[in-house]
């Protein structure tokens, strides 16, 4: 028994058939207007069994029983389903052929129409920089450029010397500068921390003897670096720098003049005067491996000489803000030991440190010097020039030396920086 196929109602089927007929007529008209092939004749539909039977003069069969009537009804429904399926199959075949004809006509029209070529896609590139044409200079232009280059080189050297005079090297500037990655609050906190460390180290230096700070630096070399970072920050607020003053003064001295810089820091004096032909030896509590010799200047300066004998080779000694420890009179005594008979001692100190300038001069003169010049170019500093004189006569006894050392922290007070 064949399976029963679902099919639409008679009214739905007639509507669908009418619509299909109209669509085929429209496509046929479009195909003829476009010059396509003539429409193919519609296939004739197969007549249904009921229609064939209606035209035949056949005697009606005798009435069947109830069982036979049911069987006949099933057979009639099957025949009707088969006829509808064949009609739908014919209609589907015709529709496929119409679609193929329409496609054939469209392809034919496209062959006749001119083809449109799309432009190629060009990737966007960044605009190229215009080439600069360098004109060929003549002889006059070449000479002018050489003069400009020479002037620029001189300015560059001058700036380098000034930086050396001020003791502000590039490496030092990098170490003291605040990294740009820090926030403003972090930078402010770091600056305050560096300031507090500087005040702490500064207080240790001024309120104890030189051995204390020397041992501290030997245990932790970063102490010396951190101290000088804070010291350079203080120098920027001064109206003048005593080191720069001594550079300008000693630049006029004869070549091969032997100069000793005690408490030199960055050795700015040597970096400025050595290129001018002077010989400069720089001493501080820690060596930099290049310009500075390590020495505790308030204990022993590693140079030959004696107070009463020979072996003294130094012409000038500079103490620019270096009489810091409580035993600073020992530094003056060591200076007298290494200076020639005609040697000079130049001292620069913070004016506010002096309890009595007169007592300070008297103490220095008692160790074998004579004051030749005293000046105060600014309110910050006082400058002294001493000349070597006859050694103390009689020589200083150990007892007298102890009393002299006790006067040191009384005559020169500690230099304390205010909290900012």
CA distance 395 to 406: 18
Token pair of 81, please?
A: 């389903």
Q: Which residue bears the tokens 């820690």?
A: 286
- Is residue 240 within 8 A of residue 203, CB to CB? The reply is no
Element (H, E) at 336: helix 328-338
Predicted confidence at residue 77, as pLDDT, reads: 59
Residue (of 66, 19, 24) closest to 41 by Cα position: 24
Q: State the DSSP code for 237.
A: T
Element (H, E) at 260: strand 258-262
Cα torsion 364, 369, 372, 378 to 10°: value is -30
Question: What are the residue ranges in the chain where pLDDT is below 50?
Answer: 2, 52, 55-60, 90, 161, 163-179
Token pair of 334, please?
A: 């060591």
Predicted confidence at residue 418, as pLDDT, reads: 60
Cβ neighbours for 201, distance < 8 A, ≥ 6 positions apart = 213, 223, 226, 227, 230
- Is residue 201 within 8 A of residue 226, CB to CB? The reply is yes
Residue (of 384, 335, 380, 337) closest to 362 by Cα position: 384
- Is residue 197 within 8 A of residue 230, CB to CB? The reply is yes
Q: Which residue bears the tokens 């001058």?
A: 158
Alpha carbon of residue 151 to chain centroid: 33
Q: Is the peptide bond before 258 cis (omega within 30 degrees of 0)?
A: no
| Cα atoms in the Cβ-side hemisphere of radius 13 Å centred on 300 | 3
Predicted confidence at residue 173, as pLDDT, reads: 44
Q: Which residue bears the tokens 């029963």?
A: 4
Predicted confidence at residue 278, as pLDDT, reads: 96
CA distance 359 to 357: 5
- Is residue 403 within 8 A of residue 263, CB to CB? The reply is no
Residue (of 326, 375, 324, 367) closest to 346 by Cα position: 375
Element (H, E) at 348: strand 339-350
Cα dist. 23→14, 27, 87 in Å?
A: 14, 6, 18
Q: Which 3 state secondary structure label does DSSP give 382?
A: strand
Predicted confidence at residue 403, as pLDDT, reads: 93
Cβ neighbours for 115, distance < 8 A, ≥ 6 positions apart = none
Query: Per DSSP, what are the bridge partners of residue 265?
Result: none
Predicted confidence at residue 320, as pLDDT, reads: 95
String of DSSP letters for 299-324: T--SS---SSSS---EEEEEEES---
String of DSSP letters for 192-220: HHHHHHHHHHHHHHHTS-HHHHHHHHHH-
**Helices then strands, each counted (H, E), the chain:** 13, 7
Pairing mode, strands 381-388 and 314-320: unpaired
């Amino acid at each position: 028994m064949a399976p029963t196929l679902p099919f639409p109602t008679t009214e739905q089927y007639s509507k669908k058939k009418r619509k299909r007929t109209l669509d085929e007529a429209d496509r046929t008209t479009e195909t003829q207007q476009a010059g396509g092939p003539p429409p193919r004749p519609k296939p004739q539909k197969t007549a249904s069994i009921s229609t064939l039977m209606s035209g035949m003069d056949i005697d009606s069969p005798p009435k069947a029983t109830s069982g036979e009537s049911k069987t006949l009804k099933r057979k009639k429904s099957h025949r009707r389903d088969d006829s509808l399926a064949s009609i739908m199959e014919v209609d589907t075949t015709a529709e496929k052929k119409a679609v193929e004809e329409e496609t054939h006509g469209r392809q034919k029209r496209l062959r006749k129409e001119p083809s449109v070529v799309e432009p190629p896609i060009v990737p966007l590139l960044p605009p190229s920089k215009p080439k600069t044409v360098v004109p060929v200079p003549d002889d006059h232009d070449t000479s002018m450029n050489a003069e400009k280059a020479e002037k620029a080189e001189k300015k560059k050297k001058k700036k380098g010397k000034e930086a050396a005079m001020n003791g502000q090297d590039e490496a030092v500037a990098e170490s003291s500068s605040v990294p740009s990655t820090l926030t403003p609050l972090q930078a402010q906190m770091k600056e305050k921390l560096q300031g507090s460390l500087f005040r702490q180290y500064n207080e240790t230096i001024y309120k104890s003897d030189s051995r204390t700070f020397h041992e501290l630096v030997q245990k932790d070399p970063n102490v010396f670096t951190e101290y000088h970072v804070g010291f350079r920050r203080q120098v920027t607020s001064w109206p003048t720098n005593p080191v720069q003053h001594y550079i300008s003064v000693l630049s006029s001295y004869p070549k091969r003049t032997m100069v000793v810089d005690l408490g030199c820091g960055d050795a700015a004096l040597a970096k400025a005067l050595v290129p001018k032909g002077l010989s400069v030896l720089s001493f501080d509590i820690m060596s930099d491996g290049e310009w500075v010799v390590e020495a505790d200047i308030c204990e022993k300066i590693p140079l030959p000489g004696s107070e009463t004998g020979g072996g003294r080779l130094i012409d000038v000694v500079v103490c620019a803000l270096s009489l810091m420890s409580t035993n600073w009179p020992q530094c003056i005594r060591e200076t007298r030991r290494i200076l020639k008979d005609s040697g000079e001692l130049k001292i620069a100190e913070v004016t506010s440190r002096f309890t009595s300038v007169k007592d300070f001069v008297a103490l220095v003169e008692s160790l074998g010097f004579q004051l030749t010049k005293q000046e105060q170019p600014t309110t910050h500093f006082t400058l002294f020039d001493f000349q070597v004189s006859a050694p103390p006569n009689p020589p200083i006894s150990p007892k007298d030396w102890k009393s002299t050392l006790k006067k040191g922290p009384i005559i020169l007070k500690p230099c304390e920086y205010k909290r900012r």
